[in-house]
Amino acid sequence: MSVGLVYDPIYLGHDTGDHIENGRRLERILEVLGNSGIRQQLVGIAPDPAPLEDLLLVHSAQHVARVDRYSAEGGGWLDGDTVTSPESYEAAIYAVGGTAKAVDKVIRGEIESAFALVRPPGHHATRTEAMGFCLFNNVAIAAKLALQKHGLERVLIVDFDVHHGNGTQDIFYDEPRVLYLSTHQWPLYPGTGRVEDTGVAGGRGYTVNIPLPPWCGDREYLLSFEKIVVPVARRYRPQIILASAGYDAHWADNISSMQVTVGGYARIAAILKQLAAELCQGRLVLALEGGYHLQALAHSVKATIEVLMGLPAGVDDPLGSPPHGSSAVDVTALMQRIKAVHDL
């Protein structure tokens, strides 16, 4: 079962110093994949830089020029969370290009699935703004290319980062050819992603938000996938599934209050893989978003890739058990509310 891995050292050139989103994230993932022997079994995908016309499918020319200018002038802060360095623009266009290349290879049938190990991340980047550590929206641009370059008519984006992907939602809010579905902690940055946010005009009903309360863990996440994600996907029948793969809902990651384990992420990956096999010839591409506890991130990505490869992924978390793991959160009313809004 061929699984691709997008990576290039150019992603480390986005030098954020001691910022929580830094190159050590990718280095630790590569170390764990290499030590386990998994990396050697993956099909390497060398990214190409995204041309300007691809960036403009999603972003304004002013936004692209601003990121380029900041990098060319030595870097700086685009907002209170998002920093650039001299090589950030180049890293960002290779992150876009790498994600798009993975989608291209999956659609062409050269590989069955892929994981894009890219940075900077993308799902907070809107048409006109960089924010939340994100410069360009990698997954959104890849989805646009799937529609325009490959002629697909239905793309499903599943975003399981702990933060809502406000940029992706904004970009496709009126677009029925892309169904955006997000599980995220609520309330939490950036404060978007309410159940009632379902799209506008022709895109109404094609945005599905699952705002989970703090302290949710594997049980609540898997219930969300069982009750909402699976039936939504089956009804939509996508031709490819893209995932904004954020691992910051892990219990050891102090950026959130969630309690997901490495085993929980493996189960999420298994559900996505099964849906892809059932609905779209196995076409599945995941692109890295958040995840800031280095060990939790690395082992969660490893477990995800093991699932893609058809290998048995362990259900035990190498970091141990979540401290709040025994206190289940009641999300029954939330699930019923979302099902009512989306007529499930």
How many C-beta atoms lie closer than 10 Å to residue 244's C-beta? Answer: 27
Residues 313-340: b if buried by 16+ CB within 10 A, e if exposed: beeebebeebebbeeebebeebbeebee
Q: 220 near 293, Cβ under 8 Å?
A: no
Structure tokens given for 277: 């096999």
User: Who contacts 255 (Cβ-Cβ below 8 Å, separation ≥6)?
Assistant: 20, 162, 248, 290, 292
Distance CA 68, CA 89 (A): 5
Among 9, 37, 42, 41, residue whose Cα is nearest residue 23: 9
Task: Given the residues 14, 63, 123, 124, select the one marked as catalytic.
Answer: 124
Q: 87 near 14, Cβ under 8 Å?
A: yes
Distance CA 117, CA 336 (A): 35
Distance CA 120, CA 122 (A): 7
Please provide the size of the chain in residues: 344
Catalytic, 163? Answer no
Q: Which residue has the tokens 């050819």?
A: 177
Active site residues: 124
